[in-house]
Amino acid sequence: MVGEEGAFVLGWDEVLTEEELSMTLKVLCMSEEEFKEYKEQDGWEDDSEEEENSLSNEALSRLKPSCKKLLYDSVLLSLESYSSDLKAEQDLLDNQEAYEKLSRREQQALHVRYGQKRILHQLLQLL
């Protein structure tokens, strides 16, 4: 369901791997009986009840409570995988002297981590 990379891609305004996330949330939030019925109907490819064409930030905030909780908990787990929090990254970016001591590669990695964490925090607020 998740694809080869095993991850979902989130952007500032929407989920970029919306089909995979939508299907994954739908299946993981089904009861065992709903799942059996869905599987028997071969509902994997041609889902006739397309709820949302795009998983925009607005659409994410309207997910079913069980899906929102699952996604919220997943985001928390993702944030826990980082060795530092968003505030620590912001502090390092704000400290010009410390920032300049980093190698170019470390500076780039800092910007990437900071951006990822900001998107994840934004998603937490939406949910």
CATH number at residue 35: 3.90.1420.10
pLDDT digit string (tens) for 80-117? 999 999 999 999 999 999 999 999 999 999 999 999 99
Q: In this structure, is residue 73 part of a structural domain? A: yes
Half-sphere exposure of 120 (CA within 13 A, CB side): 20
φ and ψ of 56, to 5 deg:
-70, 170
Q: Report pLDDT digits (tens) over 54-77.
A: 678 778 888 889 989 999 999 999
pLDDT, residue 3, reads: 55
Is 12 contained in some domain? no
CB 9 within 8 A of CB 16: yes
Q: Is residue 11 part of a domain?
A: no
- So what's the pLDDT on residue 107? 97
Using CB atoms within 10 Å of the CB of residue 103, give its burial: 0 to 12 exposed, 13 to 18 middle, 19+ buried.
Answer: exposed
Closest C-alpha among 13, 8, 126 to residue 61:
126
pTM higher than 0.85: no
Domain of 68 in residue numbering reads as: 18-126
pLDDT band at 119 (very low <50, low <70, confident <90, very high): very high
